[in-house]
A and B are shown apart, each in its own frame.
Chain A
Amino acid sequence: MTEKCLITNMQRFSTNDGPGIRTLVLCVGCNLKCKWCHNPETIPMHNTVFWKSALCVQCGLCIESCPEEAIRPPIPVEEARAEESAYHKIERSKCTDCMKCVEVCDFDALAPVGKMLTVDEVLDEVMRDKLFYKNSGGGLTLGGGEPTMHPKFMLELFQKAKEEGLHICLDTNGTAPWKVYEQTLPFVDFYLVDMKNMDTELHKLGTGAGNEKILENIKKLSEVGAKIIIRVPVMYDYNDTAENFEQMGEFLKGLPNPVHRLDLLPFHNWCQNKYNWMGIYWPLIEEENMDPIECEDFKEILETYGINCTIGG
């Protein structure tokens, strides 16, 4: 019996999630609620509906299909597409994500965020680019959401991918129970682990959970000699302080084995469409993209601790 998982995207030719050219497979469901999350559609554990205003012709077919009366009546297309428009097709409080409206939409304006796929289906798609992996040292990266929330699916996928000789990265927020990570050790070549803030209170404020478990898991991964790439999303007025990066350097320096690399990821708001499609107001939409140059100081700090650091990966 092959395991299934709700997959939102299989992004081929991904180059920022581990070495070389990779296919990034994104699972739904995440136990953290990061304010800056770039894949908001992967936070819930269930499927939801995107409404893409740019594709919607306001034909009204979806109204008739909706058993919950959660669809708002059409308005003129230009009005709906206007930048300042507050109109959203779906009344989310009523919507049960039954997907009936998706079935009748001819223009792909209403689309499910994910699709339930078996391990074999995922692997079939991933294997199509094996030539590119071979030439670039790339492979499969499993991310999300938080893939460790689907341990059975994840392990079966890793096992089969390993049998195919694939290079495997696990992109995780670091919060899973250690025994979950322990089971992945024979398969995973690189762990991509996020570190958001060294101050656990601030960590909780930004993500909904403290950082203790994450730091503990990083330590354990290091102890067993796993290769780790730390990824730090750098946010204005949240973790962009010298103190934070000094503490981070101190922590990483104290690990039994050095991490392979640390990537500073300057904040950007390119994901704002996804929030709009979900009808969610995202406070950070007004926030300006961070110029990578603003991370230079933090990079220097981390380098004084002997850490191999990049901006942007």
Chain B
Amino acid sequence: MADAKEAKLQGFLDNNQHWWWAEQARSPRIDYLRKAVWSKGAKAGAYLPGTKVGSDGPILFAEIFDDMDARSDPYMTTFSRALENTNTKLPVYIVDNSRIVGCCAAAPHEVFWVPNLSFGLNEDIFNDRDELVDMDKRDEVEKCLETMKPYTQQFMAEKVMSKRHKIMCRTSQTYTGGPHLEGLFYCTSQFTYYSKGFNAIIEEIDAGLKEASTVLYKMGAVPNFPDEEHYLQRVPVWEAMKRTLNSEILYAKRLARLARIISENFETDSERKQELLGISERCEWVPANRPRNFPEALQFEHLQTMARKREKPDGAWPAHPDWWFGDWFDADMKSGYITREDAVDYVGEYLIRSYEYGSCRNRQWRELMTGDPGPYVWTFGGMRPDGNLDYRDLINVFMEAARYVRCVSPTFALRYNKDMPEDVLKNCFESIRHGLGYPNIRNDQVLIKANMFWSNTPEDEARTWVAQACIVPAPETKHGCMPMRYSSCTTLGSKCMELALWNGFNPVFNMQIGPKTGDPTEMSFDQLMDAFIEQFKVIHWDAVKIRNIVHHIEEIHGRPHLSATYEMCVEDGINCFTRKEYGNAWVTTFIWMDGCDALVGCKKLVYDEKKYTMAQLLEFLKANWEGYEKERMDFVKAPKWGNDDPYADDIIVKIHERVRDEVCMPCKCWGTHAQGVPCVPQNVAAYTVCSNLLGALPNGRRLGDTCYDGGCSPGAGNDKKGPTAVLNSVGKLTHENMFRANLLNQRLSPTQLVGDKGFDIWNSYIRSWCDLGINHVQFNIVDNETLIAAQEKPEDFEEMIVRVAGYSAQFVGLNKKTQDTIIARTIQEL
């Protein structure tokens, strides 16, 4: 019997049907939980049928923001009262068979609605054609949204922004939206601090409040304005932190009570009764106290994260689970408190509970992240501050669990060092071979240096880095923790090439939006490159300026919970946005290499070979190449990035140098240490979504054509010389300082990755990738036949995961265009 099952499982593996393998190989509990979970990933712009955006957020927030105190209290005080109201009243639930409990929202099919971010987002959700709001609550919610409108980040930011800023943000001509329209956050976690338990933090806060009380109110004390002002500023902040933490402890206790009630009154199965009592005991203990064992550590962090996401929805989910939970795991394994199988089940459930979370997003962002509720990129392994490598067995447990549950989020990033243990690397490879698309591989030493270059982070702190969003590294230390990424303003990089060719005029929108950099027919190649840089400068700087305004508004809002989990903030009684010691500045640059290749095309055919004049080229572009297919093919065949061709590569490296020196470095981010505001070229699904925003270009691109899919990946089909040539090209960029990070996609053929030989080849490939100093690479391992079959019979391939760009998604959940582009990526035969 057991042999028959083994053979069946092996059969699935042999046929690369890893999703069927997972279903049969995982435990019954994980199988149930995996199937019971509601995915919050959207298909194109729509949430999956049945998904609702909960009304609790707007109602519970408005109850507080509508009262008298809100009109005079500091915003952070009111915010903390709204969170307290939410944590006290939000319904709690426990899924059958689960052992890790708590959710951001009030029900498994709901997304929690944070109503003080953007009124545009609120209206988008309220009016969505999929009826995301419960019909019987619509009137009440409408009223609440009206109450919340003046308190939203968007409302407050737009009072400060210029008309141009507002138009540019809302039309997405050179950047997608703006931080005040999206409200997605990307904070890092100081787990090593807050894991001591919320009670211990409250004790610290109480000590501060006590001191404040002495200075401010003690009878007979000498008046001293500087001291008193110091505390007058801090008391409301500390009180907001304390109020929020207390309400989160209460939320956990409500879960504890529910578990006990079910166990004692409703549950008939004796084993499950005990499990429920176990849940109850855990939720009585955490997050109030420091976890005592591995399951408690997972429960603790889950409750903490969900509370944080009720405060502001995270666009990402930075975490370092093996370092965070490793000590508990090792101790429990040693003492026999848990078995390895049980640990895999706990981790599997933890992944499923994380996958259950969906952030509150407008339709545009749901499209940009098609198929994925995340991206939640968790980081594993790496070099410790003391210079020793730390790769724990717990990484293997996470990789194994991921293969069983096959969630598209969270995904993993491996901090790669050449001397890392081979068993861990093999396990990571196994997950990639199972077609998960993750972990992506990150060059630890390069990214430590990038951190030091851009943020002046001391080396020991830089060594604690986690991926703060998809790919950008940020430290997790007392001083280095980041309340947010610098910019959710994502620029449309290649637009600068289009604007340079049209003297700052945007032909797609028929608007003059860039500076007048001159008539290209009268330019030399160097002048054309100058115009390219000049246009990009305005795009990038606009994004940074908008970010600066919104940062100012975010500081007014404050974040009671997040501040309470940062040691510096608790110690000093300050809101986390007030801390400006370190800046992790960057602007994500969507659609970048297309424009660079276009500039190379001009050099080749207009300036060097003189096959066409610039005037002719403009005529082709104006016609969107219609009637000029032969000419277009010439530009398609011109040298392209990714072929290890010095002609293209030298120009593109030069562009990157100039962008760093002339565009990024002059920007001032907050913080005494931060240097400039670098680019982060990567795309999520923008390479399809934004394809209608970018017009015809001299790389042969037509308006609407899908853009290149990575940050430094070659265009689909442009890499004619195989994967080593791609790496050689990409390795010519200096990844330590030309950008903050950069994304490279590759697709490999599953038939070539079989067995130990497959691993050996991949291993040596990765070693070379590391020697070339490239910061990132991620793989899709799936053949075209499977992808095409999945398009034809999606019902048979529901669990098949692919890497999009910066995140993973179920292939059948992607829109057709994105599916086609993944098929079109050149398959690299190993």
A57 to B629, CA, bound (A): 11
A160 to B444, CA, bound (A): 37
Interface core residue of A13, A128, A129, A137 (most chain B CB under 10 Å)? A13
* B829 pairs with A128, CB closer than 8 A: no
A138 to B644, CA, bound (A): 19
Closest to B633 in A: A106
Residues of chain B with a CB closer than 8 A to A128's CB: 644, 724-725, 728
Mark interface residues in A296-313 (1 if CB within 8 Å of B CB, else 0): 000000000000000010
Mark interface residues in A6-37 (1 if CB within 8 Å of B CB, else 0): 00000111011000110000000000000000
* A21 pairs with B634, CB closer than 8 A: no
Does A135 sit within 8 A of B, measured CB to CB? Answer: yes
What is the interface size of chain A, counting residues whose CB is below 8 A from a CB of the partner? 21
* A135 pairs with B764, CB closer than 8 A: yes
Does A2 sit within 8 A of B, measured CB to CB? Answer: no
* A129 pairs with B765, CB closer than 8 A: no
Please give the distance in Å from A109's CB to the nearest CB on chain B. 11
- Given A20-B764, A135-B768, A136-B764, A107 contacting B724 (CB threshold 8 A): no
Which residue of the partner chain, among B633, B752, B754, B765, contacts A132 with CB atoms under 8 Å?
A: B765
* B724 pairs with A13, CB closer than 8 A: yes
Which residue of the partner chain, among B633, B644, B752, B767, contacts A15 with CB atoms under 8 Å?
A: B752
Residues of chain A with a CB closer than 8 A to B723's CB: 13
Which residue of the partner chain, among B752, B757, B772, B828, contacts A131 with CB atoms under 8 Å?
A: B772
Which residue of the partner chain, among A12, A57, A108, contacts B725 with CB atoms under 8 Å?
A: A12
A138 to B767, CA, bound (A): 13
A132 to B728, CA, bound (A): 10
A135 to B637, CA, bound (A): 32
Does B292 sit within 8 A of A, measured CB to CB? Answer: no
Interface of A is mostly: loop
Interface of B is mostly: helix
* A13 pairs with B829, CB closer than 8 A: yes
Residues of chain B with a CB closer than 8 A to A135's CB: 764-765, 767-768, 771
A128 to B728, CA, bound (A): 8
Q: What is the interface residue range for chain B against chain A?
A: 20 to 34
- Given A21-B765, A106-B634, A107-B633, A132 contacting B830 (CB threshold 8 A): no
A304 to B629, CA, bound (A): 62
* A12 pairs with B721, CB closer than 8 A: yes
Does B334 sit within 8 A of A, measured CB to CB? Answer: no
Which residue of the partner chain, among B634, B722, B754, B772, contacts A12 with CB atoms under 8 Å?
A: B722
Please give the distance in Å from B260's CB to the nearest CB on chain A. 56
* A129 pairs with B724, CB closer than 8 A: yes
Residues of chain A with a CB closer than 8 A to B760's CB: 136
Which residue of the partner chain, among B728, B754, B829, contacts A129 with CB atoms under 8 Å?
A: B728
Residues of chain A with a CB closer than 8 A to B629's CB: 57
Q: Using a CB-CB cutoff of 8 Å, which residues 753-792 of chain B contact chain A?
A: 754, 757, 760-761, 764-765, 767-768, 771-772
A207 to B659, CA, bound (A): 59
Q: Please name the 3 residue pairs, one residue from A and one from B, whose CB atoms are nearest each other, closest first.
A: A136-B764, A135-B767, A13-B722
**Beyond A13-B829, A132-B765: 14 further Cβ-contacts under 8 Å?**
A12-B722, A12-B724, A13-B724, A15-B761, A16-B752, A20-B761, A21-B768, A131-B772, A132-B724, A132-B764, A134-B768, A135-B764, A136-B768, A138-B764
Offer 10 A-B interface pairs, CB within 8 angstroms, sorted by A. Answer: A11-B722, A13-B722, A21-B724, A21-B765, A21-B768, A106-B630, A107-B633, A128-B644, A131-B772, A136-B765
Q: Which residues of A contact B (CB under 8 A)?
A: 11-13, 15-16, 20-21, 57, 106-108, 128-129, 131-132, 134-138, 312
